[in-house]
Amino acid sequence: MKARVIAYYLPQYHPIPENDKAWGPGFTEWTNVAQAKPLFRGHHQPKIPADLGFYDLRLPETREQQALMAKECGIEGFCYYHYWMGNGKLLLQRPFEEVLASGKPDFPFCLCWANHEWTTRTWKKDGKPMVIAPMLYPGTEDYIAHFKYVLPAFKDHRYITVESKPLFCIYDPYHFKDVSFFISTWRELAINNGLPGIYFTALINNTSTIKRRDDGTLERVVPDLRESKDVFDNILKLGFDGINSFGKSRGEMLYQGMMGRTFRKVLHKKLPFLPAMTLNYPHVVKNFFAPEDSWENVFPTIMPNWDRTPRAGKAEGVYINATPEHFKSHLLNALKVIANKDDEHRILFLKSWNEWGEGNYVEPDTKYGHGYLNALKECLL
């Protein structure tokens, strides 16, 4: 086995009442993706889907096609973003609930709890942002209700496991002060419900500018570009079994310089009339992986592109020279990082299957067709 590639999957492509209220009837991720404009010569926008078109995830045929494509290129399964906002409030739950209830597609999956508040800041840059749905952590009763909601998924034969335990990812471990109690509560509930436990994985940058204190508060720190041991240990001690390591910040700092990256970001935020900042994809991703990404319980991220201009405008920078060929080189480097791990821990998270608003997707588009899928297939199969 070369790698267990698990692809993050965004269920945003169908209307929901909360988005209808905030943006108008029918709003989905496609709304601004299709309206994006090129910001400089050679900037590929808008990004237009090819084979699947501007799909609606309420259609089971679309979900079947996606799973077939993913399977054919060597992806093990999808990691669905899961929006439990507290007090039983759910967002974007319909596609996964239908996958679970129908048994189709018969393709492995796991869940990533996207534990962050929803505001209009994602799509609107002017004026005061409106909170669409706050992120709440009400305590024990809500944690139990949350577990009961996901238990049928954990017991499904398709659910992805690590060390025989269902894999459950937490998007933001830093701002979840109660995360250690949450983890211990769910572990006890898992045992009581016939599971061997839960394999908790935290999503974090392998080079970070923040650190959790023992009381759950955060402090700003100078990022360490040499290693990630302190970053990973700081999170693992909260009770996590593993880390999904994301190297974007590290790659950009080593490409632009630590101070240079910060200065450019601040400058573009203060002076929005400046031309869009560009970053050379192959130069960034060659520095994606930290030495500790080779740890048995650290699962690195691979990323085909980064272009959040449909969401963020010019503020975050645009990757250039992000091609299937350069993605293939990036993937081959990732395979070297995990080559000496046990088969079960030879995991790579793909960011992402279908994040069209961020430009990190591998689904076919009108520019590269199946280029990214073919790169995966050539490396994995």
Mean pLDDT computed over 250-260: 89
Report residue 127's pLDDT band, with 50, 70 and 90 as the boundaries: low
Q: Per mean pLDDT, which range of 173-182, 314-323, 363-372 is the poorest?
A: 314-323
Judge whether residue 369 has pLDDT over 60.
yes
Q: Is residue 341's pLDDT more than 70?
A: yes
Please report the pLDDT score of residue 125 as a whole number: 56
| Angstrom distance (rounded) from CA 269 to CA 276 | 11
Structure tokens at 137: 């952590």
Distance, CA of 262 to CA of 151 (rounded, Å): 43
Going by C-alpha positions, the residue among 160, 192, 156, 180 that lies closest to residue 241 is 180
Task: Read off the CATH number of the domain in which 203 is found.
Answer: 3.20.20.80
What is the structure's pLDDT at 274? 82
Q: Which two tokens stand for residue 111?
A: 């869940």
User: Which is more confident, 137 or 130?
Assistant: 137
Question: Which pLDDT belongs to residue 270?
Answer: 77
Residue 246 or 128, more confident = 246
pLDDT at 183: 98
Tokens of 248: 């974007």
Closest CA to 116 of 101, 133, 103: 133
Beta-bridge partner residues of 84: 90
Lowest-confidence segment of 12-26, 60-74, 249-263, 353-367 by average pLDDT: 249-263
Q: What average pLDDT does range 80-84 have in this prediction? A: 98
| 313 close to 274: Cβ distance less than 8 angstroms | no
Least confident of 126-135, 197-206, 337-346: 126-135
Average pLDDT over every residue of 250-269: 83
pLDDT at 1: 81
Residue 255 confidence class, pLDDT cut points 50, 70, 90: very high
179-192 per-position pLDDT tens digit: 999 999 999 999 99
Residue-averaged pLDDT of the chain: 95
Mean pLDDT computed over 343-354: 98
pLDDT band at 126 (very low <50, low <70, confident <90, very high): low
Residue 121: predicted pLDDT: 73
* pTM tops 0.95, yes or no: yes
- What domain range is 176 assigned to? 4-380
Mean pLDDT of 246-260: 91
- Whether pLDDT at 124 is above 70: no
Lowest pLDDT segment from 136-140, 147-151, 210-214, 308-312: 308-312
Instruction: State residue 123's pLDDT score.
Output: 66
Q: Would you state the pLDDT for residue 311?
A: 87
The structural domain count of the chain equals 1
Percentage of residues in the chain having pLDDT higher than 90: 88
The mean-pLDDT minimum among 51-65, 308-322, 334-348 falls in 308-322
First-last CA distance in the chain? 9
The reported pLDDT for the residue numbered 358 is 95
Share of the chain above pLDDT 70, in %: 98
Per-residue pLDDT, averaged over 285-303, amounts to 98
